[in-house]
Structure 1
Amino acid sequence: MSPSELEPVLAEGESSSVEFKRCGGLPGDDVFETVCSFANRHGGSIFLGVLDDGSVEGVDARRAVEVQRNLVNRVCNPNQFVPSPAVETEEVRLDGRTVIRVWVPMSASVVRFRGVAYDRMFDADRRVSTDYGLSQLYMRKQNYYSEQRIYPALTLDDLRGDLIERCRRMAVLRRPDHPWRNLDDGELLRSANLWGVDATDRSSGYRMAAVLLLGRDETIGAVCPAYRTDALVRRRDVERYDDRLTVRTNLVDAYDALSGFVRSQLPDRFHLEGDVSVSPRDIIVRELVANLLIHREYSSPMPGRVIVANDGVHTENASRSFYEGPLSLSDFSPMSKNPIIAGFFTEIGLADELGSGLRKLCRYSRVYSGRDPELRDGDVFHAFVPVRFADGGGESPENKPQTGSVSSERPTPDEAMDAILEERGFVTSRLLANAAHVSVRTAYRRIIRRVDQGTLRAERRGHSTRYIPA
């Protein structure tokens, strides 16, 4: 890593894959807890010699080799780590100071440091002590899909025969020669991989996916008691809701109910593609609701949610993520979270091929509101599509008229620093960067300028530094 590559990382700050550590001497236990959490999550980089606010204090250059040797020795010590995670280190020089980057790739096994497993949540290391948390770690490592879970005691009577027939007709209507046309119910379920055999103990039966897609409500409640999807309208009463729909039924009926509810809350707009009129609203709602139901982690107790707010439509659902961060078309690699459910939705025409949803959302969001959607994956998947309502909701702040005494101009870094000091009595690089809309690096240089002038002085608080009037 070069200094020019390091600077934007410092400016961006800590995240699920970036951690800053002061490291005045040899690495402490907190460094190794982060090594463990990165190995158990998606991997990441630890930067030794960097304070929490992104400012570079540096590692003693004379001890840089000793620091790296100590770190590798402890990671390889079986009394410290089981199993030992892989790590790589490198030195980066920035403004005359030495930073050590420790890169930790994702491990194939669950890693423990001194007998404890750690997981990465946003920019923090979390000690995993509950059975559920540990099961999620193992599931992430074993490439196991909860939708595949077998329930040997379930019979065809636990599923809705009328719904199976309805789905058969939907598939045939979409493709007249569909093989489901001539299959009986049991054969159809096997063809859709909704009945299977567990390779570990050879038990056989209907899968969780069959229950979620076609089960009776009481069967769904017994298999997935926490399953629920909430649809909320928060336009006037933003603390609670203006209207609400709670869905606990099968995914096919849930799709219809949620789509109808959200469509009824959104304006429709006329749009021609060639000589054909299409509804951007309906396409957007279809993709949002299908994604909410298809790519959800159903072993999680977290309910799915779709919220119609003044700025647009928000959805969130538990996710078994392979990646954490924003999604964009330029670097998007589609990976199905529930391939059986996704395949069934495709067969009956409620979803398209994997990856098409993001492309459609981007295309029709621009038609619908003139703006791109925002999607972010992680333990919770978030999606947002902007909406321009007829009453003015959904306008971006820069397009709204300024009222009162609020200035539309951004404060200068010095003005922002004075305001922070007056309000809080101290300032940090991160606070100043957010207030003045500058990088952490620029904010740090502004603060150090005042330190050099003698008007501010540094005050150490734990692993972080703040600056107070001298």
Structure 2
Amino acid sequence: MEEQLLRQLILQGEGKHIEFKGAKRSVPSDLYETVVSFSNTEGGTLILGIEDDGTISGVEEAFKNNILKDLVSSINSTDCINPPLYLQPVPVKMDGVWIIAMQVPVSSQVHDHKKAIYIREYESDLDITKQSQRVSDLHLNKRNFFTESQVIPNLTMEDLDEKLFEKARNLIKSNQSDHPWLFEKNQKMLEEASLYRKDFFTQKEGLTSAAALIFGKDTTIQSLFPAYKVEGMVRKINKDRWDDRITPPLRTNLIDTYIQLKAFVNKHLPEKFYMEGDQRVDLRDKVFREVIGNVIVHREYSSALATEMIIDQYQLTITNPNNPHFSGPIDLNSFNPYPKNPNIRKFFTALGWTDEIGSGIRNTKKYLPLYIEGAQPIFIEGSIFKTIIPLRLVTLKSFSNKWLKWIELDEKYTSHLEKSLSKINISPELFEASWEECLLHLVPSWTQKGTKLQNLDWPKNQPTDELLIKKVPSWSQKSTNLIHKKIRYIIAILSLTGEPLALDDIMMAVGYANKKTFRDNYIKPLEQLQWIEKTNPQNPTAPDQKYKLTLIGKIFLGNQE
């Protein structure tokens, strides 16, 4: 876990997903209650060496290694936590002292600490052991949501591929030579990884869906998941079919699926190296290790839809069946990660193919701009999870002079608008496009999406067809001839706030005089849609308050979805 992320968590303070523990010389006695409550509820981060008020007290260096050993051995012991959890505490030096951070993902099983079952409510760990209805509901929710953990009747060790266990051990060994699973027999490894478990509702005990997906023979997987497949295609020249393809589509175990998808990306995308400190980093590996790991770890395997990875001239796009928690783009700066298949994720972490929960999105955000200069990934949550990795960065910056005149902004905001539009990505297909081609790409999408939004009361009967647009006089020189005045204000606000700007400046730039009307008709609705936000939301009346464009607003303005 990086120091910057850790500082952000400390600043947030304790809550449902964050817990501080003072731990100078030993593991706090109530720590394992929190581990269990996080795993039973929505997951969270434990930080040792931080007091309740956020003061960094630290872990004494002489005791750090003992605390780390105690944590790992206890969490992996059924005497402490049952079923055991494989977690990796991480020491981080901050302000001259050591703290220890540990991410606890939500589990697909119900865990207890010394036979007591805890859940997380607000900032507290609540013991529900004697509340039979709540315990029953907890088991039922896990069973219904996490299809990976369902016990499959009559699935036996003979249905698994013996060679995959050896392959997995070799991969684990190269990642962590003292990993406890290395020294276990096959079935015991499955038990430790929660791939062999007891279903407390049916009282059946056995191998799970995740065990079949990771270790199953191809015939086993195809019998249990007949519609499951993963496609990999290149469409640069032949857009209707493909230039290259993984043939046949992947219907095999997840270990080989990962390896083959990664090899396909390596075949078609170039290497690029970067010096991170004194280490030479393969940026292609950093980015696509995370992207492909995310695809496999978060897929909903009960879905009949295929996973598709398509590489074209401009971007790599992956669509993946998903069990969503919300719908819309993921804000890379404030998202709260939630694993869809925690046991598969746990196994992939042991293989070295995924890191802590949420690292896939964070690392892609970190390394992609180094691989493709300035590029940012887009992740869109929904029943189909969509990942877009630009392979060429194109922004609205090159159109800033024409944009200023088109939406009739005050010329003194020319420099600000250029900075703002440089942060608005548009489709890489518009690389070297003309101004008219850019407008024909953007204007129809604004109207098509805007008319579906009640908050904005978007004017109807706006031209969206290319032929109708071209019939409008001076459509590419004056927005007032092409779009309703209200739409012009909305587009102007979004265009200006890519770089934060005060309300008075926004009004001056667009030539609007009445502050109350402007705030009521434009600013508030755009805030409600989460297209713009205050730079200081904790103090709405702050004298230096500005407005900035959100990820959702950027995607709308640049028509990236």
Partner residue, 2:270: 267
Structure 2 Cα separation of the partners of residues 436 and 247 of structure 1? 47
Residues 72-151 of structure 1 mapped to structure 2, 5 A cutoff: 144-151=145-152
| Conservation of the 8 A alpha-carbon contact between 2:462 and 2:484 | no
Identity %: 32
Q: Aligned-pair distance for 1:175?
A: 1.8
Partner residue, 1:385: 389
Which whole-Å deviations, capped at 9, do the CAs of 1:55-101 have from their partners, x for residues lacking one?
A: xxxxxxxxxxxxxxxxxxxxxxxxxxxxxxxxxxxxxxxxxxxxxxx
Structure 2 counterpart of 1:309, from 308, 312, 325:
312
| Conservation of the 8 A alpha-carbon contact between 1:255 and 1:289 | yes
Partner residue, 2:432: 400
Partner residue, 1:224: 225
Structure 2 Cα separation of the partners of residues 422 and 349 of structure 1? 53
Structure 1 Cα separation of the partners of residues 438 and 260 of structure 2? 44
User: Which SS does the other structure have where 2:388 is aligned?
Assistant: strand
Structure 1 counterpart of 2:377, from 373, 376, 390:
373
| Conservation of the 8 A alpha-carbon contact between 1:150 and 1:203 | yes
Q: Aligned-pair distance for 1:176?
A: 2.0
Structure 2 Cα separation of the partners of residues 142 and 202 of structure 1? 13
Amino acid at match of 1:400: E
Amino acid at match of 2:383: D
Amino acid at match of 2:167: R
Structure 2 Cα separation of the partners of residues 335 and 290 of structure 1? 15
Which whole-Å deviations, capped at 9, do the CAs of 1:348-367 have from their partners, x for residues lacking one?
A: 11111110111111111111
Amino acid at match of 2:221: I
| Conservation of the 8 A alpha-carbon contact between 1:172 and 1:180 | no
| Conservation of the 8 A alpha-carbon contact between 1:151 and 1:205 | yes
Q: Aligned-pair distance for 1:230?
A: 0.1
Q: Aligned-pair distance for 1:187?
A: 0.6
Structure 1 pair 372/198, CA: closer, same or farther in 2 (3 Å)? same
Matched, 1:287 2:290: yes
Partner residue, 1:423: 468
Structure 1 pair 439/234, CA: closer, same or farther in 2 (3 Å)? farther
Task: Tell me the C-alpha RMSD between the 2 structures.
Answer: 3.6
Structure 1 Cα separation of the partners of residues 190 and 464 of structure 2? 65
Which whole-Å deviations, capped at 9, do the CAs of 1:10-42 have from their partners, x for residues lacking one?
A: xxxxxxxxxxxxxxxxxxxxxxxxxxxxxxxxx
Partner residue, 1:321: 324
Structure 1 pair 438/366, CA: closer, same or farther in 2 (3 Å)? farther
| Conservation of the 8 A alpha-carbon contact between 1:420 and 1:426 | no
| Conservation of the 8 A alpha-carbon contact between 1:327 and 1:377 | yes
Amino acid at match of 2:432: K
| Conservation of the 8 A alpha-carbon contact between 1:288 and 1:315 | no
Which whole-Å deviations, capped at 9, do the CAs of 1:97-142 have from their partners, x for residues lacking one?
A: xxxxxxxxxxxxxxxxxxxxxxxxxxxxxxxxxxxxxxxxxx9897
Which whole-Å deviations, capped at 9, do the CAs of 1:403-434 have from their partners, x for residues lacking one?
A: 9x8688999x9xx968979839999xxxx99x
Structure 1 pair 417/142, CA: closer, same or farther in 2 (3 Å)? same
Amino acid at match of 2:301: Y
User: Which SS does the other structure have where 1:193 is aligned?
Assistant: coil
Q: Aligned-pair distance for 1:294?
A: 0.8
Structure 2 Cα separation of the partners of residues 141 and 157 of structure 1? 28
Structure 1: 5+ residue runs without aligned partners?
A: 1-138, 445-470
| Conservation of the 8 A alpha-carbon contact between 1:312 and 1:384 | yes
Structure 2 Cα separation of the partners of residues 213 and 224 of structure 1? 13
User: Which SS does the other structure have where 1:205 is aligned?
Assistant: strand
Q: Aligned-pair distance for 1:381?
A: 0.2
Partner residue, 1:233: 234
Give TM-score scaled by structure 1 length.
0.56
User: Which SS does the other structure have where 1:330 is aligned?
Assistant: coil
| Conservation of the 8 A alpha-carbon contact between 2:151 and 2:205 | yes
Q: Aligned-pair distance for 1:300?
A: 0.5
Structure 1 Cα separation of the partners of residues 485 and 160 of structure 2? 57
Amino acid at match of 1:271: Y
Paired residues, number: 294
User: Which SS does the other structure have where 1:238 is aligned?
Assistant: coil
User: Which SS does the other structure have where 1:287 is aligned?
Assistant: helix
Structure 2 Cα separation of the partners of residues 342 and 160 of structure 1? 20
| Conservation of the 8 A alpha-carbon contact between 2:390 and 2:428 | no
Amino acid at match of 2:385: F
Q: Aligned-pair distance for 1:331?
A: 2.1
Partner residue, 1:459: none
| Conservation of the 8 A alpha-carbon contact between 2:227 and 2:304 | yes
Matched, 1:338 2:341: yes
Structure 2 counterpart of 1:354, from 339, 342, 357:
357
Give TM-score scaled by structure 2 length.
0.48
Q: Aligned-pair distance for 1:343?
A: 0.5
Structure 1 Cα separation of the partners of residues 260 and 287 of structure 2? 15
Structure 2: 5+ residue runs without aligned partners?
A: 1-139, 394-425, 448-460, 473-478, 492-561
Structure 2 Cα separation of the partners of residues 333 and 407 of structure 1? 34
Q: Aligned-pair distance for 1:144?
A: 2.1
Structure 2 Cα separation of the partners of residues 281 and 354 of structure 1? 21
Structure 2 Cα separation of the partners of residues 371 and 276 of structure 1? 23
Structure 1 pair 422/182, CA: closer, same or farther in 2 (3 Å)? closer
| Conservation of the 8 A alpha-carbon contact between 2:375 and 2:390 | yes
Q: Aligned-pair distance for 1:315?
A: 0.5
The more displaced of 269-278 and 379-388 is 269-278
Structure 2 Cα separation of the partners of residues 180 and 252 of structure 1? 16
User: Which SS does the other structure have where 1:150 is aligned?
Assistant: coil
Structure 1 pair 173/422, CA: closer, same or farther in 2 (3 Å)? closer
Structure 2 Cα separation of the partners of residues 330 and 185 of structure 1? 40
| Conservation of the 8 A alpha-carbon contact between 2:283 and 2:367 | yes
Q: Of Structure 1 and Structure 2, which has the larger fraction of its residues in strand?
A: 1
Matched, 1:254 2:244: no
Structure 1 pair 407/158, CA: closer, same or farther in 2 (3 Å)? closer
Partner residue, 1:102: none
Structure 1 pair 347/421, CA: closer, same or farther in 2 (3 Å)? closer
Amino acid at match of 2:318: T
